[in-house]
């Protein structure tokens, strides 16, 4: 059990480094964006990013996920290679059709979103970027399947450096604003595809199988619908904010979402990348359910600890990022709610995987559709009056509903004895600490930072007092402390095999 958990943690940490390249650019460059972009421009960027995510979900059909499932189940090397080629070539053909259909309407998209012809080039870049991102998704998934985490990290670090350099050049020196940001993203996807194609060529043969294609689509299409409706659920608030208010509100809300999104980028997405291939390989084994239960508990612990860190220091971070533009400062007030939303999203993801194991993905689509209806309804009701707060509260309430529905349906077909009492303790302590810090936001800066730091340090000790940790877990923590407390020994520890 401990070995399996370490294996999962290892790959999740490695993928956490590699996952920087796309999403984290917006975080690293926040000081640059808030200095060179108005809240209105930042709102435009957020809407373009949202549109890109919708298009990726719609056009990709989630074939990369289906490919991973079928590849893991295949019992011969030739079949694995055929699965890879069938997945990639199918998407390539779909993307050619996508561009033939959508590119002629880029002027209409410009009018639809911005009531102007001047954004035509933005959509030209956007459609090309979406296409390259989808193709690169297949090749990166193959690298994950082969568990070549070092290669994955190397490719993504190169992409990160290229994208960061281009962002700075386009924004600071060429004054291209939002256009420069999406152009650098396009080039980043191009670099990723070029670097991953050799792995693709090495691991596939030129055998297209209609049978495999039909099986992949049958599995992935409900997931694609799920993803699209999930995006409607989580991202439609930007469009509704713009409809009832303006791009400036979208910009402030998106900054809060971007900061809370650190949890999504560094923890949740990295965990998904490391965990999914492992889960597909072991879910039939006798020890799998116990393993899943412990991983789930540790995941929630890490998510909520991160929620505390981000929420407690969000005000200081945003004031530092946007010190020259106080229009952005209001964003810190919604960060705690959005961080809790991402923590619930992690729970929802874990429960939803149970339906993947038994190939009941049609329920994923139904549940997310229910959530989307709830989200759209609440957003339309609350955003006109509460603005960004209405959007944040809607996100949290909708995610609560999704967690409950996925838990009930998943446990019906693939029952797991989750330690839900301990999960409840985690949430109770987290909310209690967030409530305390709400009342100290306006006191002296250094005193405020000291109190917040103390509260975070106390978090695991409070859990220990509430009997959260098992004896073996406490023992392992003590052993890890002894092993890693001296930095001089780190090099030897990393070399030593577990």
456/22: higher pLDDT: 456
C-beta separation of 280 from 65 below 8 A:
no
Flag whether pLDDT at 478 surpasses 70. no
pLDDT surpasses 50 at 497? no
pLDDT number for residue 7: 53
DSSP code at position 119? G
Residue spans of the domains in the chain: they are 2-418
Q: Given this model, what pLDDT does residue 74 score?
A: 78
Indicate if the pLDDT at residue 358 is higher than 80: no
pTM to 2 decimals?
0.74
CA–CA gap between residue 171 and residue 119 (Å, rounded): 17
- Other C-beta atoms closer than 10 Å to the C-beta of 79 total 16
Res. 498: pLDDT tops 50 = no
Question: What's the full length of the chain, in residues?
Answer: 498
pLDDT digits (tens, 9 = 90+) for 232-261: 777 788 889 988 988 889 999 999 988 898
Residue 448 has pLDDT above 60, yes or no: yes
For all residues of the chain together, what is the average pLDDT?
84
Separation of alpha carbons 355 and 279, rounded Å: 12
Reference 307, options 252, 267, 272; nearest CA is 267
**pLDDT band, residue 17 (cuts 50/70/90):** low
Give me the pLDDT at residue 94, please: 93
Q: Which residues contact 81 (CB under 8 A, 6 or more apart)?
A: 203, 204, 205, 207
- 405 band by pLDDT with thresholds 50, 70 and 90: very high
Max CA separation in the chain (angstroms): 67
């Amino acid at each position: 059990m401990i070995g399996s958990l370490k294996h999962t943690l290892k790959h999740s940490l490695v993928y956490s480094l590699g996952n920087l390249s796309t999403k984290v650019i917006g975080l690293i460059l926040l000081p640059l964006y808030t200095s060179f972009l108005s809240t209105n421009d930042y709102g435009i960027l957020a809407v373009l990013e949202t549109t890109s995510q919708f298009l990726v979900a719609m056009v990709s059909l989630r074939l990369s996920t289906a490919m991973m499932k079928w590849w893991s189940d295949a019992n011969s090397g030739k079949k694995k290679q055929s699965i890879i080629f069938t997945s990639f070539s199918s998407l390539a053909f779909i993307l050619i059709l996508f561009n033939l259909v959508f590119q002629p309407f880029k002027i209409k998209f410009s009018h639809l979103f911005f009531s102007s012809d001047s954004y035509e080039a933005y959509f030209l870049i956007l459609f090309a970027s979406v296409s390259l991102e989808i193709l690169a998704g297949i090749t990166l998934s193959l690298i994950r399947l082969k568990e070549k985490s070092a290669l994955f990290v190397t490719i993504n670090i190169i992409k990160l450096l290229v994208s960061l350099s281009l962002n700075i050049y386009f924004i600071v020196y060429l004054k291209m604003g939002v256009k420069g940001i999406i152009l650098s993203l396009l080039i980043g996807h191009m670099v990723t595809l070029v670097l991953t194609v050799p792995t693709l060529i090495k691991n596939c043969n030129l055998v297209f199988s209609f049978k495999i294609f039909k099986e992949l689509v049958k599995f992935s299409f409900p997931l694609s619908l799920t993803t699209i409706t999930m995006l409607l659920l989580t991202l439609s608030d930007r469009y509704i904010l713009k409809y009832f208010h303006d791009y400036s509100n979208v910009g402030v809300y998106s900054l809060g979402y971007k900061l809370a999104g650190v949890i999504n980028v560094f923890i949740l997405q990295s965990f998904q990348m490391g965990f999914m291939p492992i889960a597909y390989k072991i879910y039939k084994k006798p020890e799998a359910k116990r393993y899943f239960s412990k991983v789930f508990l540790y995941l929630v612990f890490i998510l909520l600890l991160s929620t505390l860190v981000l929420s407690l220091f969000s005000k200081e971070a945003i004031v530092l990022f946007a010190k020259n533009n106080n229009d952005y400062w209001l964003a810190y007030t919604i960060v705690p709610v959005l961080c809790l939303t991402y923590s619930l999203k992690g729970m929802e993801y874990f429960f939803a995987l149970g339906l993947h194991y038994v190939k009941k993905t049609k329920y994923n689509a139904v549940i997310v559709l229910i959530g989307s209806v709830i989200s759209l309804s609440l957003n339309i009701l609350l955003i006109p009056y509460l603005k960004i707060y209405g959007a944040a509260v809607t996100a949290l309430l909708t995610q609560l509903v999704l967690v409950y529905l996925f838990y009930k349906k998943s446990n019906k077909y693939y029952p797991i004895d989750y330690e839900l009492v301990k999960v409840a303790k985690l949430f109770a302590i987290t909310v209690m600490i967030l409530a305390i810090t709400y009342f100290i936001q306006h006191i002296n800066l250094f005193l405020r930072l000291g109190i917040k730091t103390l509260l975070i340090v106390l978090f695991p000790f409070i859990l220990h007092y509430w009997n959260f940790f098992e004896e073996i877990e406490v023992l392992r923590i003590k052993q890890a402390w002894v092993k890693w407390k001296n930095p001089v020994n780190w090099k030897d520890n990393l070399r030593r095999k577990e």
